[in-house]
Amino acid sequence: MSTNPSRTLLPVPNPHPDREYEVEIESPEFTALCPVTGQPDFATITFKYVPGPYICELKSLKLYLWSFRDEGHFHEDVTNMILKDFVEFIQPKKLHVTGRFNVRGGIYTTVRAEYEAGQ
């Protein structure tokens, strides 16, 4: 596996497909650029998901999140992009992605996006 940023998430077969369980992953070092000023935005991205056929290999997730570092994105857009891509690659039954963006100009932003299979 490469160590370069990538927009590919590696699905791994779910070791316990016979039961529902929740996985929580927190990445406190997410960075992207403000699309208006070009300044860095810092965030904690949290995933809570109920696996379907796959779980997410964590190194691929780290490299995926790293791929946003030099790109300009609004907080709302990037959080929803992350949710969409995670659903496409990992096929969870349920997924909540929360982006908690650090203060900028005296304002904190928290964006929550959700997905549930079949809805």
Asked if residue 16 belongs to a known ligand binding site, the reply is no
Is 56 among the catalytic positions?
A: no
Classify each residue of 62-83 as buried b or exposed e, where b means 16 or more C-beta atoms within 10 Å of its C-beta.
ebbbbebeeebbebeebbbbbb
Asked if residue 57 belongs to a known ligand binding site, the reply is no
Is 41 among the catalytic positions?
A: yes
Q: How far is CA 105 from CA 19, 41, 57, 84, 97, in A?
A: 45, 11, 36, 29, 24
Catalytic residue among 34, 56, 70, 85: 34
Which residue ranges make up the annotated binding site for substrate? 75-76
The residues annotated with a catalytic role in the active site are 34, 41
Which residue ranges make up the annotated binding site? 75-76
